[in-house]
Amino acid sequence: MAMKLHRKKRLTAIIASVFAVSIVVGLVLYASNQKMNLFITPTEVQAGIAPLDRIFRIGGLVKDGSVKRSETSLRTDFIVTDGVADIKVTYDKIMPDLFREGQGVVAMGKMNDKGLFVASNILAKHDEEYKAPEVLDALERAGHPVKKTAQDSKGS
């Protein structure tokens, strides 16, 4: 009789432990999924791959002639392109010094319900030749191969 009681206690303890570990693993996966920033190209955004309820990164080139700066606030509107698709972006903070038309950019933020990407952070290139690895990959996937420099290779 004592042996059966001991087995039941051990079995209950094992089941409780497995259940507790499962809950912890589930919570860790959920938290890491919420913190993960996806990188999506303008073509993928137009294809409907972009999540509407999550922060993600979009990258490409700042389209020539698309930058419009507000005269009364910090707001800057511009278009990010991968050569196939264009996405309108708005940013309401101080732009990085290196931000300009025709250069690589990675913007972090969310799509709003009007199809406008509202950026919370803008990352610009480092020097005349550098392009972020994500931007290079996005341009290549869109059918626009870009000449990689030695510095680009170091970043990958």
Domain ranges of the chain: 1-36, 38-155
**Neighbour tally for 88: CB within 10 Å:** 15
Return d(Cα 70, Cα 149) in angstroms, integer: 35
At 138, which helix (H) or strand (E)? Answer: helix 133-141
Contact 89, 79 (CB under 8 A): yes
Q: Is the pLDDT of residue 155 over 60?
A: no
Return d(Cα 144, Cα 105) in angstroms, integer: 16
- Domain 38-155 is found in CATH 2.40.50.140: yes
Q: Which range among 19-23, 38-42, 125-129 shows the weakest confidence by mean pLDDT?
A: 125-129
Q: Is the pLDDT of residue 146 over 70?
A: no
pLDDT at residue 13 in the model: 85
pLDDT in tens, 94-142: 988 888 888 889 999 998 888 899 999 998 765 445 556 666 676 677 6
